Amino acid sequence: MSLQLVRGRDLKPPQRAARSTPAASAVPSLQEISELPKIEPAKPRKAAPRFPVNPETRVFYRRFYPGTSVSEWNDWRWQMRARIRTAQELARIFQLSEDERLAVEKHEGPLPVGITPYYASLMGRDDPTEPLRRTHIKTSDEFIRMPGEADDPLGEDHDTVAPGIVHRYPDRVLFLTTGTCST
C-alpha cells in the first residue's frame, strides 16, 4: 500500500487552474487610460553605505586622511595602499613616546610595520601602553634577544622549497597564500 494513501493524500499532483483570456470589455480603452491620475516617479534614494562608519572613525579619517570617501575607506585595496609604513607617518598619526621614537630610529631599513588606516583608527594615539598599539609600534625592548630565540623559531627555512611553499611534513605541503598581514 502506498504511503500517500495511508496519509490520506491523493496520488496525483493537484491540477493547475486553466488560464482564461480576458474579455474584450475588461481591457481599458486609450481614453480611459489617459483619464487615470498621473503617478509621479519615485525620487531616487541615496543608498546607505554597505559598511557604515562610526562617528569616531569618521573623525579619524577626516583628520588624518582628508578627502577620503566612505567607499574608499571601506575598500581593502585603498587600505593596503594607504598603510602606515614610515617613521614620519607614524609620528604624523601617533604621539610617539621617547622609547618608541628611539626604537623606530634605531631600526635599520624599512619599518617592519604596515598598519592600515582602519586599524590605526582603533589604536590609542596618545597612550603608548594601549595594548593594540603595543602589538604594532616597536619599543626598545624588542631589540633584546634572549637565549633560545631564533629568526626561524619553527625551523622551516630549510624546508622551504620555493617562496611561499613549505614542505616540512611527508604527507602535506604548506602554502603561504600571502606575505602580507592586514595590520
Domain ranges of the chain: 55-143
More confident residue, 154 or 106: 106
- Report pTM: 0.60
**Cβ neighbours of residue 100 closer than 8 Å, sequence gap 6 or more:** 94, 128, 137, 138, 139
pLDDT digits (tens, 9 = 90+) for 100-142: 999 888 887 777 788 999 999 999 999 999 999 998 888 888 8
Residue 27: what residue type? V
Check whether 65 has a pLDDT greater than 60: yes
pLDDT at 85 over 80: yes
Determine the pLDDT at residue 26. Answer: 66
Band the pLDDT of 174: cuts 50, 70, 90: confident
Is residue 57 over pLDDT 80?
A: yes
Q: Report the pLDDT value the prediction gives residue 91, as an integer from 0 to 100.
A: 92
pLDDT of residue 60: 93
**For residues 26 and 82, what is the distance between their CA atoms, to the nearest angstrom?**
64
Contact indicator for 87, 111 with CB cutoff of 8 Å = yes
pLDDT at 79: 92
The 3-state DSSP class for residue 99 equals: helix
Q: Rounded distance, CA 173 to CA 159, Å? A: 10
Closest CA to 71 of 54, 56, 47, 49: 49
What is the Cα–Cα distance from 60 to 81, expressed in whole angstroms? Answer: 17
Cα–Cα dist 173/89, whole Å:
38
Question: Alpha-carbon distance 28 to 174, whole Å?
Answer: 71
Alpha carbon distance 174, 168 (integer Å): 8
Strand order in the sheet with 172-175: 160-162, 165-169, 172-175
Cell of 95: 604621539
